[in-house]
Structure 1
Amino acid sequence: MKVVTSSEMQRIDKETIEGYGVPSVVLMENAGLGVVEVIKEAYSKVNEMGVAVFAGCGNNGGDGLVIARHLSNQGVDVRVFLVGKASQVSHDCGVNLRIARKMKIPISEIASKISLDRVRQEWEGSRLIIDAIFGTGLSRDVSGVPAAVIEFINSLKVPIISVDIPSGLSADTAKPLGIAVKATETVTFGLPKRGLILFPGVLYAGKVTLVDIGIPRSLLQDPSLKTNILMEEEVTSLLPIHLPDAHKGDCGRVVVLAGSVGMTGAAALVSEAALKIGAGLVTLGIPEGLNRVMEVKLTEVMTRPLPETLGGSLALSGYDKIKEMLLDADVLAIGPGLGREKETSELVWRIIEEMKIPMVIDADGINALSLKPEVLKKSRTGIVLTPHPGEAARFLGIKIAQVQEDRIETARSIAQDYHTICVLKGARTIIASPEEVFINSTGNVGMASGGVGDVLCGMIAGLLAQGLSCFDAAKLGVYLHGLAADLLIEEIDPATLIASDIIGEMSKALKRAKEVRIRENSWVQRKITF
């Protein structure tokens, strides 16, 4: 499903109105009706609750007035609080304001902090708040009376439904513009906005429900929209299929180059994850001094002792043996726990430059590339990079804060500049190809634990070995990785989750994904829960 910025949504609205001839007031009516249907479904006793609608002077406020009208028609006790002056409302908002007045719906203007003090008494009796103050077009910090109103709304101990986006939240950056409403649920229109999907916006949006307001589907599926949210419908079709007569060679061969003194756990996790996701054979290339312990630690994974440096990392002199290992392999996973010795980095550079096998490069493999990023442009194969924000910052030569400021564009720029697939890990992991970006919808705070990234590296490598493209393997691997963690916290506290738990839960995640039926796209009240 596409995810849009504020400007992209405005362009879609404009084309709907001007290109297709759908009147803007019709879109407003559909939006309001859609919210009313969500309210009725969620609150069966809404007629007994009393509803306060806080409406701005723009089209978002107009949506709120439509909601107030339809709820009033259904016998709900509704009050409207107009944040601003009636003389300042937009054309379509004005249409619905006049209708509301003719219907004798109580309307109070909040044009000053003095009038807000009066509202503090008038709202009493309402048990549901509708936030329709600001929409997705907001780009300036909220201040003055609107800021005071939002602060007041957030202080109330009642459910809050935001219309299209929580007022004050940036639709593009997902950050509050000074202050933002903390909604129980957000009912958004047409397509999800970035601000509802990314952090910290997720913490303000609550549950997100997508409603059809009559925008032509061709506009919602426009190929020029290059950012998507990764949902189960997008990934279930990617699951590898093993034929009944398949043997281990048919299921793919993975070579892993990982581990150094003190970092054997990383090597074990990536190897076991590749096997658990369905790869037929996994061979771990490990510094020879660590081979014996890995032979004990790993039962199903084969190990290959390789020349090591004095510090216990893989040595450049092992290149020929590695080249031989890769002759029959389908994919190489390289980087977890390799260490940062100069000689090991030189080995990484040479492998990337000369080997034609698809690769997943993680951790110290990326750290090696940060010293010589031009190596990537010399590669002759498909590559998936899986950096966390710190590794991405080192690779790009910028600060972590700059990476986190715009995670989508950071991942997209790496993918485009180096012709790779970039998986920027973190809350709402970003999967970027040079052409398109996906935002993952699975995962939880329990994944903030050492080794979890190593597991993801192995999963993507295992899927690549089973015949998926680099982009598809990255999308499916990231989704299943988060899904396994989500299944785990249904039974355990997130704080206790460790990387090996995800490997253990992978079977359930795969089973769950395989049980999901591909559903036809439906734009009517399609619910997305985060």
Structure 2
Amino acid sequence: MKVVTVQEMREIDKVCSEQFGIQSSLLMERAGLSVVLAIEQNFGDITNQSFLVLCGQGNNGGDGFVVARDLLEYTDYVTTVFVGDEEKLSPESVENLKRLKALGADVRRIAKDINPDELAELLKKSDIVVDALLGIGVRGEVREPISQIIKLVNLYSKYVVSVDVPSGIETDTGSVLGIAVQADMTVTFGLPKVCHLLYPGRELCGKLKVASIGIPRFLRESEQIKRQIITKQLVRSLLPRRLRDSHKGSYGKVLVVAGSIDYPGAAVLTSTAALRVGCGYLQLLSSPSACAIAVTREPGIVARAINHEHFTGEDTELALEMAQDADAVVIGPGMTCNEDTIEFFEKFIVNLRKPVIIDADGLNCLARKPQILDKIIAPVVLTPHPGEFARLLHREINEVKYNYVLAEEFSRKYNVVVVLKGATTLVASVNGTFFNLTGNSSLAKAGTGDVLSGMIAGLVGQGMDVKDASVSAVYLHGVAAEHYNSREGTMLTSELLNLIPSAIKEVES
């Protein structure tokens, strides 16, 4: 499913009107009705429910007027509170307010017909509050009186349904504009917006429903829209098939260059993850202690030790020799980042010709010598968490976290795939950006990123291109965590490895 920004949604609305004669008044009518239908689907019989509909002066408020009118078809217990200036309403919103009043509906204006204390009492008495205060076009911090109303909504409401977006959320980032509604359900129209997918907006949306309101499908699926959600159907279509008449060579060879005496476990996790997604042959180049642990953990790993407990420039020739037979390479997990390691990393990576996943200390080496990126010839996937991406870009963490625009710019500049990890992981490539919604807080643990890099490499080794492998791996990585049956957060990283096969089975079935 595609994901749109404010500007892209406005362009779609414009095309609907100018090229197909689908007027905004019709879309507003269908939007309001879709909210009511979503409420009915969620609650069943709503004839005995009481509603409070809060409407602002933008088109979001116009949708709210339609919601209030349609709710009156089910119940008499509907109160509408208008916040704003009627003279600033769009023609469509004015018309829908007139229709609502013509029905004899209870419509009150904030400050004139109802004060904050009375509104608080209404909120307490209402079973369901419909938030149609602010829409997708809001900019800047929320001001009075709406900020005060949002505070009351969050304090006293039993159940909140937001129209299109929770009021107070910046649509293109998911950030809070001072204060925002905490919705239990959000009904958006046509396509999900970025704010529905990125935190804190994603959490404030509650349950998200995407309603079809008559926007032509080819517009919703346009190739001009470069961002989309990773779905099970997409991953199923990408995953390589396994044939009965096959052998280890059929499923690729992966080389993992990782680990040190300080961090031996990272090499084990990355190597085992590549095998878990189906890689046929796994070579590990690491320190002697890490190799010993890896073979003990999984004898199927073909391990070769360097002469020291850390990588140095002397290991470059051996690493490049082993890479000649590989279909994919991972470099970085647990490798450390000292001067010797950076020397090795640079000599190896600029001479490598195989697809490579750069993770952890590999990213730290790049941050120390960013000019290396200009010399890399091989297809590249970078898998930074926000701290690593901040170091790469020499920015603050809060500037890069969930920043899909920066990830896209970096991807285009260096022709790489960027997997920006987080509660919503972003996969940015020159061909588009993908948002992953699978996973849970069990992944907030050391080593799970090493598992992800191994999974990506294991899929690349089986013939997938680096973008498709990254998209598939982040989805499976999240599903695997969701398959953990005990209390969320208590999963060991090693247990995540054992859940990868069940995640693949779920997707393939």
Instruction: Place the TM-score, normalised by the shorter chain, in its bin.
Output: over 0.9
Aligned position for 1:233: 233
Within 5 Å, give how 1:190-205 maps onto structure 2. 190-205=190-205
Confirm whether residue 465 of structure 1 aligns to residue 461 of structure 2.
yes
Within 5 Å, give how 1:235-384 maps onto structure 2. 235-288=235-288, 290-308=290-308, 312-384=309-381
* Cα shift at 1:113: 10
| Counterpart contact for 1:53–1:78, Cα < 8 Å | yes
* Cα shift at 1:218: 2.2
Within 5 Å, give how 1:486-525 maps onto structure 2. 486-488=482-484, 491-515=485-509
- Call closer, same or farther: CA 1:460–1:245 in 2, change over 3 Å: same
- Of stretches 368-377 and 416-425 in structure 1, the one that deviates more from structure 2 is 368-377
TM-score under structure 2 length normalisation: 0.97
Distance 1:475 1:285 in 2: 26
Aligned position for 1:409: 405
Cα deviation, 1:100-122, whole Å, max 9, x if unaligned, reads 11101111111369623233344
- Call closer, same or farther: CA 1:262–1:68 in 2, change over 3 Å: same
Three-state SS of the structure 1 residue aligned to 2:162 is strand
Distance 2:123 2:437 in 1: 37
Amino acid at match of 1:503: L
| Counterpart contact for 2:78–2:106, Cα < 8 Å | yes
Aligned position for 1:483: 479
The size of the alignment, in residue pairs, is: 509
Within 5 Å, give how 1:83-122 maps onto structure 2. 83-111=83-111, 115-122=115-122
* Cα shift at 1:27: 0.4
Three-state SS of the structure 2 residue aligned to 1:321 is helix
How much is the aligned-residue C-alpha RMSD, in angstroms?
Answer: 1.6
* Cα shift at 1:199: 0.5
Aligned position for 1:17: 17
Distance 2:505 2:486 in 1: 20
Unpaired runs of at least 5, structure 2: none
Distance 1:356 1:122 in 2: 67
- Call closer, same or farther: CA 1:298–1:244 in 2, change over 3 Å: closer
Distance 1:440 1:416 in 2: 20
Amino acid at match of 1:37: L
* Cα shift at 1:289: 5.1
| Counterpart contact for 2:270–2:455, Cα < 8 Å | yes
* Cα shift at 1:507: 1.0
Three-state SS of the structure 2 residue aligned to 1:468 is coil
* Cα shift at 1:230: 1.3
* Cα shift at 1:296: 2.4
Cα deviation, 1:16-60, whole Å, max 9, x if unaligned, reads 112221111100001011111111111113111111111112211
Distance 2:457 2:125 in 1: 58
Distance 1:380 1:451 in 2: 28
- Of stretches 118-127 and 141-150 in structure 1, the one that deviates more from structure 2 is 118-127
Three-state SS of the structure 1 residue aligned to 2:181 is coil
* Cα shift at 1:124: 5.5
Distance 2:289 2:451 in 1: 23
Three-state SS of the structure 1 residue aligned to 2:333 is coil
Three-state SS of the structure 2 residue aligned to 1:144 is coil
Amino acid at match of 1:183: A
- Call closer, same or farther: CA 1:278–1:122 in 2, change over 3 Å: closer
| Counterpart contact for 1:46–1:76, Cα < 8 Å | no
Distance 2:334 2:163 in 1: 47
Amino acid at match of 1:120: A
Distance 1:95 1:59 in 2: 12
Amino acid at match of 1:343: D
Distance 2:318 2:119 in 1: 77
Unpaired runs of at least 5, structure 1: 516-530
- Call closer, same or farther: CA 1:307–1:157 in 2, change over 3 Å: same
Distance 1:123 1:480 in 2: 42
TM-score under structure 1 length normalisation: 0.93
| Counterpart contact for 2:172–2:193, Cα < 8 Å | yes
Cα deviation, 1:476-495, whole Å, max 9, x if unaligned, reads 0011001111121xx21222
Cα deviation, 1:441-473, whole Å, max 9, x if unaligned, reads 111122110000000010000000011000000
